[in-house]
Structures are given as C-alpha cells and as structure tokens.
Amino acid sequence: MFRESHVLFNDRRDAGRILAQTLRELPPPPDSIVLALPRGGVPVAYEVAAALHLPLDILAVRKLGAPDQEELAMGAIAGGGTLVLNAGVIQALRIPEETVRDLGRMEQLQLAEDERIFRGGGPPLEFAGRAVLLVDDGLATGATMRAAGCAVRSRAREVIVAVPVAAPSTCRALLAEVDRVIAFAKPDPFEAVGRFYRNFDPTPDAEVIEILAQARRNRHAQPAA
C-alpha cells in the first residue's frame, strides 16, 4: 500500500538530481562513464551524468523471471551474454536446467534488440580502463545489478553502483561484486523500490530513446578537452 510518509522522491528525474548531490560529496573519478540500467535507471542516470558532466550510455540487463512467477527473479542477463543465477530460487522451485537455458537464450535476443533500439542503431560507448557508474532507480534484491557488475568488471578500472535508494543487505552483498555502492538512502525495512517514489510509473521505451538521444546531443555539443 502506498504511504506518503515513505516518499523520498517525486519521480525518477527528481531522484537522479538528489543522487547527483550525494555523488558530489563522494565524487567518482573525472574520466568515469555513466551506464544506466534500462528502463527505470535511464532518467535517474541522465540527471547524474548531466550534473557531473559525464558521458551516458546504457547497459541492457533483463531479469529472468521464474516460470509462472515472473516477478520472482531466478537470475538476470546482461550485455555480452553475462548470466547471473539465483541458485536458491532455482533449487526451491525445482526449475529444470533446460528451462533456465532456454529463457536465457530468449532474453539475450531481446536484450540485443533493446540495445539497438535504445541507442538508435549507434555503437556503445567504450568504457575499458575507465571507472563505470552503474545507475538504476533502486536496489531491492540486486539481481539485475549483480549481472551488470559482472558484465563490466573485467574491462572497467573501477565499478561503482549508484542508486537513489537501496536495501541495506543488498548493498552489503554487492560489495563482493563491485568496488563501491553509493545510495542516497538505505531504509530498513525496505519492502520495495516503488514505495519511496510518488510517481513510479514504468518508463516508456520512447522516453528512454529520447533521453539517450539528448545525452548524445549534449556530448557532441561539449567542446573537446
């Protein structure tokens, strides 16, 4: 149930501006690149990238929902074929290995299509050797963020997770996968990301496409260093 007393942010853009203030106090390296997890992480990340004058791109990640319980993550898949599984869920529900493999293959195809559409057919930004800020609208279980961290850590110099709100236990667990986890708020009990937003409507594909296009225009308008 929605309770006004839990609200921290008006919407994702507001959350991004607030997160940017937190990041100014814990600044990432100046050569960092911001990678947003679509779809909800994109408006948050846009505000962060704009405030810190950093380039913005996406890192597509898709949750692998358990059969007949799609909201329950049995894992996640990220760009480049990185697959992270929740062994506890798979074992508890006795999900066959073949089912996991088939779903992962299907989601990988959709993920590649998402990246093509969201970037307007353009190439991804190169982040090898740079610090990477992985940004989403919040962290509950952290399944998709774990996949994102695994996807970039072999090439990035430093991996920093930055979110407006996160479950404290998830932040602690993620430190095994990434270098830093920065959150504006870590409420306990947590329950769900959406309870901390006044407006948590799904981010449409059209909005993601326009935000990324605006980020590209901003980048091209900046004078060369």
pLDDT, one tens digit for every residue, the chain (225 residues): 345 558 999 999 999 999 999 999 988 999 999 999 999 999 999 999 999 999 999 998 888 888 887 767 788 888 777 888 888 888 888 899 888 888 888 888 888 898 889 998 888 999 999 999 999 999 988 888 998 998 999 899 999 999 999 999 999 999 998 999 999 999 999 989 999 999 999 999 999 999 999 999 988 776 554
Looking at the structure of the chain, the number of domains it has is: 1
Q: Is residue 172 part of a domain?
A: yes
Q: Is residue 166 part of a domain?
A: yes
CA-to-CA distance for 175 and 112, rounded, in angstroms?
A: 28
Q: Is residue 37 part of a domain?
A: yes
CA-to-CA distance for 209 and 119, rounded, in angstroms?
A: 7
Beta strands in the chain (DSSP E): 33-36, 56-58, 61-66, 69-78, 82-85, 131-135, 158-165, 180-185
Q: Is residue 47 part of a domain?
A: yes
CB 148 within 8 A of CB 45: no
Q: Is residue 201 part of a domain?
A: yes
Q: Is residue 100 part of a domain?
A: no
CA 196, 203, 31, 79: dihedral to nearest 10 degrees?
Answer: 110
Range of the domain at 158: 4-61+120-220
Q: Is residue 66 part of a domain?
A: no
Q: Is residue 69 part of a domain?
A: no
pTM over 0.75: yes
CA-to-CA distance for 176 and 43, rounded, in angstroms?
A: 27
Question: In CATH, what number is assigned to the domain containing residue 139?
Answer: 3.40.50.2020
Joined tokens for residue 16: 């991004």
